[in-house]
Amino acid sequence: MSKFKVTKAVIPVAGMGTRFLPATKAMPKEMLPLIDKPVIQYVVEEAVAAGLDDVLMITGRNKNALENHFDRATELEHTLTAKGDHGKLDKVQESTDLANVHYVRQGDPLGLGHAVLRAKAHVAEHSFAVLLGDDVIDSRDVLLAKMLEVHESTGSNVIALMEVDPDQIHLYGCASVVPTDDPDVVTISHLVEKPKNEDAPSNLAVIGRYVLRQEMFGVLEQTAPGRGGEIQLTDALQTAAADPSIAGGVVGVIFKGRRYDTGDKLDFIKATLRIGVDRSDIGEDLRAWLHDFAKEI
């Protein structure tokens, strides 16, 4: 198998989720539900849809709820079976049968780069995908499949980029890019984590999907703590972008679809509504209510 053929997904879920306190005091933010499914299930479903059913979660405090969600729920399953309620039983079993989910603890939350490093033993010698556990890509839009295709054909690390308002770029990693023949793919010449708006080299923000070569573990091991005293994945990718001989350089796939940062309160509400209005069970009623509500406010 080519070393650039990806089969494993790494999902960091060990952040503190401070923007969502107090809801995240005793529960990881990735367990917050969008309608009736926890955010993490959307992310695992995206990985599986792209062919990655070996999933490693990097967990932090309060990991039990996450593990239980992807485990059997024997008592609940027995009760629903006895009642003959197969619809609800399917919903309970959906997450258990979805993927082979493995877990490793991050220990101290020393940053996203540190969380990714914890995947080294599991990933071994192959390239792997990283999906941030609070970042939801709408399943109606394609991103990861394109990133995997670009990785296989170029052998470079691949990041996902999205245009944002220039006054929002300080919230993201930001990329300087050079165009390629494919209008959706760019070569990354420079990356900076959360620049001041006035110093940002572009309005292209790094969003939570990555396809990384295994050499990135070595780069992360050499990466000193950066912004906020955390080991930043963006800093390691900047090292790789600056010298392609280290880990094959970095390219970006520009995403123009729907993406929700569910760790952010406003984006979380937008995600609920965007997904809700198209649901077959509640969509019609929600749309009608939203029209009336819009007149009230």
Q: DSSP secondary-structure letter at 8?
A: E
Site of tokens 């306190």 = 21
Q: DSSP for 68-80?
A: HHTS--HHHHHHH
* Smallest gap from residue 135 Cβ to ligand UTP (A): 7
Nearer to ligand UTP, 212 or 286 (CB): 212
Secondary structure of residue 228 in the 3-state scheme: helix
* Smallest gap from residue 28 Cβ to ligand UTP (A): 7
Nearer to ligand UTP, 86 or 265 (CB): 265
Long-range contacts of 23-31 (CB under 8 A, 24+ apart): 26/62, 27/62, 27/65, 28/59, 28/60, 28/62, 28/63, 28/65, 28/66, 28/133, 29/134, 29/262, 29/263, 30/66, 30/133, 30/134, 31/65, 31/66, 31/69
Nearer to ligand UTP, 57 or 286 (CB): 57
Radius of gyration of the chain (CA): 20
* Smallest gap from residue 108 Cβ to ligand UTP (A): 8
Nearer to ligand UTP, 22 or 87 (CB): 22
* Smallest gap from residue 226 Cβ to ligand UTP (A): 13
Q: Measured between alpha carbons, how far is 132 from 192 in angstroms, rounded to an integer?
A: 18
Q: Measured between alpha carbons, how far is 200 from 192 in angstroms, rounded to an integer?
A: 8
* Smallest gap from residue 134 Cβ to ligand UTP (A): 5
Q: DSSP secondary-structure letter at 33?
A: E
* Smallest gap from residue 2 Cβ to ligand UTP (A): 28
Nearer to ligand UTP, 15 or 38 (CB): 15
Nearer to ligand UTP, 34 or 185 (CB): 34
Residues lying near ligand UTP in the complex (CB under 6 A): 12-19, 58, 106, 109-112, 114-115, 132-134, 263
Long-range contacts of 242-246 (CB under 8 A, 24+ apart): 242/190, 244/156, 246/215, 246/219
Q: DSSP for 87-100?
A: HHHHHHHHHHHS-E
Q: Measured between alpha carbons, how far is 263 from 16 in angstroms, rounded to an integer?
A: 10
* Smallest gap from residue 17 Cβ to ligand UTP (A): 4
Q: Which residue is nearest to ligand UTP (CB)?
A: 15
Task: Name residue 207's beta-bridge partners.
Answer: 160
Nearer to ligand UTP, 31 or 240 (CB): 31
